[in-house]
Structure 1
């Protein structure tokens, strides 16, 4: 096994140790430079291996438990998990096992367990590939699965878990003509206007990337701006804007957009994205609650549990335990009321969250319209190409789930509603 292969695997194990052992998120780790020393190809490989291991960890653990009297330290366990995932996917046993043994041997704290790693993985290599498809689809943790079953039922949650396990294709939003983008890159043009690619490879080398012809944005995440329907000449406020997919959509419509986010580093990414796509927006690093003024339209992608993004971010169930959700629900309500104060009379506010939990979506809007007689839900705003009427909820919002479009890659879980201020 080449040094390159070992380095990518070592880095993947490092990421797993941080996610599972310290509750860190992959996006934070990678953004902080965890993979900077690797060549681009190995960075992509390390990230892919970490994601695949997180998605399939339950199955890997079920296979490994047959060969372990007790679980070894976390780094060794994660090395075994990663190697098991590779072996069960048809990886060459010689290279996978040798790389895992070398990873453990290089660490003084785990070197004594290289024999164990070798023995266990030889057993996994013997029949793991056959056992793998017989195991159940990995389940969500109880802190999340229980409320979702209560909200949607066990069969629906099982379908969501299958979508999570399958992972996500690459979705792109075109700066201009989505048909031209589809013809340029191939893939599929979804009914909502998103171009979807499978096995896209390295994003930055795809045609049109350097010219800023498109940006990466899940199909579900692109819908809130389509519901908002900004027009040339309008002023639009994008709250909690970074990393900027919605800001770029609004700017591309010809509207004048002001983007607000309290994270300087994330706003730095938004600035880079605007430069690449040659789009313009006013950027404000600050607290949403400190903003003043009046706009024609406001979009609020409120801080939430992000439970709708697990198909793309399988680290989330391992890095979080749900303890922050109560505080997020309170913050969402405050932000939504403040967003309504920033829109002109007769204007519209699109409230959205990338959460599967009704408390962070449907319930927020229900509580709002019960408490305020100057706000109505604009159901007509949901007449957007590609939206299934069955996705529209009782209070007039739009509920998206990972199991929708299951046959062609699914979508993120999202909730959104368009609110009109009298």
Structure 2
């Protein structure tokens, strides 16, 4: 294959090199046309030619603190000058400080953090811990979920990506609550919660409670559609887990660290899990990292027994420095509070106005800076909008310099937690303009 031309613009060079040599995830490679990104600041990114986009995707719903936050980039630079890498068996100040800050924001009784390279291997290790603690094997998770692209994590995932990758053992799926497309013929949030819990208990009983190690849930399923659980559901799952001696793992990889307007999404519900997984939001993805926050009874299992797991880059110094700086900045700058306020005062009313104006919006749901617009071709039948129309919507949004997050028939409205009222107003105007087009004609 010939090399890209030396006379090409940097945009063209970046694109040509990508298409020549980069193999992309979850994609048929031949038809890809990746957007070129050269830099960013706050809620905006731009290409090498200077074209700027308002980033309402937060990339993969992870740049909570915004692009290029100076405190986080400075901390990474300082750390690389002091100690760029070190074995995980050592003790370093940045790792200890990062773990301390994470544990301080967790519920009482969570004092230990196991660091991983990202969210998927956080799920892997949480499942391993639950199995070792209980002496059981099975893991229950929902069909509407995404937990990562490694052995157990992808099989715990409920969506289509699981099916070509089902090599791990002991996984069982069930339906979680979603009133708009209820699997339970429910007519109210309370009924949906009650019936979904009854369904879960039947699955537990049918699978054999004595063999179930854990129920694994995204506190708020993200990629599956920002499915905020109805009142009482998560507390009901906790009660079922307690009744049958099952560990509750809450996946906070996407929803945690400010995304919902709380430090953890479960802070907004009456529930405390046994294991908490995190990644993305803890340092906004500036350096790959993740982890498991371990409740004391599970952590104590390994005081005298070897934990059979580890990673070369567990607690990598650059990642740890970025966590410390990110969490300190989020605290001192009120970034989590900004996410809550933006959700309450700007996104909730603004998206409701869009729904009232555009019949193509079947449902609006979300909290903080974590929202989804469910797009339908007919509100009565709730027929999801097809892929061709969604492709056109994406193109029209990009043409107006808004970088969107689209999944299936949904627009996920997921800006950084630092987004301003003016930026929300700008985005809402672009959504309004695009949804006013004759998309179904």
Q: Taking structure 1 as the reference length, what is the TM-score of the superposition?
A: 0.34
Q: Which structure's relative contact order is higher, taking Cα pairs within 8 Å and 6+ residues apart?
A: 2
